[in-house]
Amino acid sequence: MSVLIECVPNFSEGRRQDVIEAIVAPFKNRKGCYLFDSRADEDHNRLVVSLCGEPNAICDALIEAGKVAVATIDLNTHKGAHPRMGAVDVIPFTPVKGITMEECVELSHQFAQRFYDELKVPVFYYEDSSVRPDRTRLEQVRKGQYEALKELVKTDPSRAADVGPNELHPTAGGTAIGARKFLVAFNVNLNTTNVEIAKIIGKRVRASNGGFSCVKGMGVDLPEKGLVQVSMNLVDYEKTAMYRVLEFIRMEAARWGVTVNGTEVYGMIPAGAMLDSAAYYLQVDNFHNEQVLELKLLDLMQQD
């Protein structure tokens, strides 16, 4: 296998188990497409699927899963804590092996046209695939979510779709497709039911409000768990380590007498992202990832 990409499609369904299973089914037992992980969250009402494999195999599976999502998810009645604008909300491509970021951008553009042709859902480019300097980050594309975007796409040229007409699909909305670096979905749960505290901390931690340069964050309510959460995407874990973000949130929460209940990583994560934090909390001096036995073995095997 000479070319490998990672893909983490997000679907706006986290509650109906039959729909979740139907969406995930095309990614199973498909040659060249490897399903690493799939997680559905009821509060977020969202399904995150982690894939790795050959571009063609992954794209074929995405079309099949997308058809299920479009047929079964209605954004007009969908409710959840996580922002969304489509039944298939976002499809990111990340280069892993034998493919450059530029080639991933080309792949995303080609797939976006196929996605619209077969599903009739308009596509909005984001991250490295963006063709609009003022509309690169996902939060810029998705601002206002489905409810606002379904009107803005008709009247505001800056919100127009990149592929397809200036009109969202009547039930499945629109889909963001793009190429990007590895992203770590990192959430911190707080021992309180006051969601305003999480929202304030989410605002302070994110880059757009002067926080960490590589962090996107927001506060959400998790009523099923009886607590609130600072939900984040770390878009470059090498520049912003997980432990720095966690300690900042812990410090901010303390002013309200609130403690951290726990953290969670959604989907797959590079070993380096976890090892940086492990070395910090264990206070290991001069630690290098090459000291990890399994990583060293993998490196040696790739040299053979």
Is residue 114 within 8 A of residue 163, CB to CB? The reply is no
Enclosing H/E stretch for 186: strand 184-190
pLDDT of residue 194: 98
Residues involved in catalysis: 82
pLDDT at 38 over 70: yes
Contacts of 199 (CB under 8 A, 6+ apart): 218, 219
The percent of residues in the chain predicted with pLDDT above 90, rounded, is 89
What tens digit of pLDDT does each residue of 155-196 get?
Answer: 999 999 999 999 999 999 999 999 999 999 999 999 999 999
What own/partner pairs with CB < 8 Å and gap ≥ 24 does 139-142 have?
A: 139/83, 139/208, 139/216, 141/85, 141/176, 142/83, 142/84, 142/85, 142/89, 142/176
pLDDT band at 297 (very low <50, low <70, confident <90, very high): confident
Q: Kindly list the structural domains of the chain, giving each domain's residue range(s) and its CATH number in brackets, ordered by start.
A: 4-179 (3.30.990.10), 184-299 (3.30.70.670)
pLDDT at 301 over 80: no
Please compute the mean of the pLDDT values over residues 71-96 and round it to a whole number. 96
pLDDT band at 2 (very low <50, low <70, confident <90, very high): confident
What tens digit of pLDDT does each residue of 201-213 get?
Answer: 999 999 989 999 9
Mean pLDDT taken over the chain = 95
Please compute the mean of the pLDDT values over residues 93-119 and round it to a whole number. 97
Between CA 216 and CA 202 the distance in angstroms is 8
Query: Whole-model pTM above 0.75?
Result: yes
Please compute the mean of the pLDDT values over residues 247-272 and round it to a whole number. 94
